[in-house]
Amino acid sequence: MSLFGPGHGACPGCGFPIAVREALDALDGKVIAVNATGCLEIVSSMYGRNTWGVPYIHSIFENSAAVAAGIEVALKALKRENEAHVVVFAGDGATFDIGIGTLSGMMDRNHNVIYICYDNEAYQNTGNQQSMATPMGAATTTTPVGKNMPGKMGRKKDMVEIAVAHGIPYAASASIAYPKDFNRKVKRASEIKGSKYIQVHCPCVTGWGIDGKLTVEVAKLAVETGLYPLVEYENGKLVRVRKLKKRKSVEEYLKIQRRFRHLFKHPMGKDVLEELQRIADENARKYGLDA
Ligand SMILES: Cc1ncc(C[n+]2csc(CCOP(=O)(O)OP(=O)(O)O)c2C)c(N)n1
Ligand SMILES: [Mg+2]
């Protein structure tokens, strides 16, 4: 039986339960889970009802990496470090923005922790506010569409590269559309001592405005367009990339999501669409995505 749920309250079609189940399976349940405040925590640890089959602690929004580091050190002091992997599950807001200080400290000290960022590209629990993981052009409640504003103006921050720049031994991006690949990456991370950062792309049905039955399809298109490249680094070296036989145009991915639909009619939309295609092309060149 899965060690996550049933009984959680995530929306039908939510992406992150797939990631959590897969991660717990990959580690055979030998996990102490630290969960930052966010949607995952809200839907899985309601008062009197917890859907985790492993030891679980809810940290605050900004300190999951510090809590995990503390648990790791405590396990070492007790000589019980071989009994469980310390794994953080934190959203993109908790990771890219508000918790980046504690995450940076954890990676700088190279604590033996697997940090999994489930990236649904905004503060979804509080109703879709932009984070630094929100892609350019996306409409959120803090990047609304108006006459002079075609959604978010800046581009998504490259958090995987920031993790790599800390000199940690393992960093990767993944997607719920490729669960076997994600599973393998979590397993690989568990074999390596030190800090591991894995960022997994998880569509949000309500925030992105997608049909719940298309979650996996949407996540797949993000990868197939080159907007969400699947990459893997060991000791600062790019060791593996998911190649694309025939890269799709970014429009195929964008047009099925409500958060981007204004781009196809807004006067500034064309420029944003071109910029998003340029970002995908840049990823393809940088990582050699085209097979
Ligand atoms: C210090 C602090 N600021 C704001 C909040 C309110 N808050 C709770 S969850 C959340 C959004 C979390 O976003 P993310 O980390 O991306 O996770 P998601 O909800 O998208 O899964 C916010 C803003 C809080 N709990 N603590
Ligand atoms: Mg989020």
Residue 5 pLDDT: 87
> What does each of the 291 residues of the chain score in pLDDT, given as a tens digit?
789 988 899 999 999 999 999 999 999 999 999 999 999 999 999 888 899 999 999 999 999 999 999 999 999 999 999 999 999 999 999 999 999 999 999 999 999 999 999 999 999 999 999 999 999 999 999 999 999 999 999 999 999 999 999 999 999 999 999 999 999 999 999 999 999 999 999 999 999 999 999 999 999 999 999 999 999 999 999 999 999 999 999 999 999 999 999 999 999 999 999 999 999 999 999 999 999
Closest ligand 1 atom, residue 123 Cα: 13
Q: What are the start-end ranges of the H helices in the chain?
A: 16-26, 39-44, 64-77, 92, 100-108, 159-165, 179-190, 205-208, 215-224, 250-254, 269-287
* Residue ranges of domains in the chain: 16-287
| Cross-strand pairs, 118 | 91, 200
Q: DSSP code of 247?
A: P
At 233 the three-state DSSP class reads strand
Residue nearest to atom 4 of ligand 1 (CA): 61
Can you give the pLDDT at residue 47?
A: 84
CA distance 21 to 23: 6
Going by alpha carbons, the residue nearest to atom 22 of ligand 1 is 126
Burial 96-134 (b: 16+ CB within 10 A, else e): bbbbbebbeebbeeebbbbbbbbbbbbbbbeebbbbbbb
* Ligand 1 site-directed mutation target among 18, 125, 202, most atoms within 8 Å of CB: 125
Its pTM surpasses 0.85: yes
Q: Classify 16-287 by CATH class.
A: alpha beta
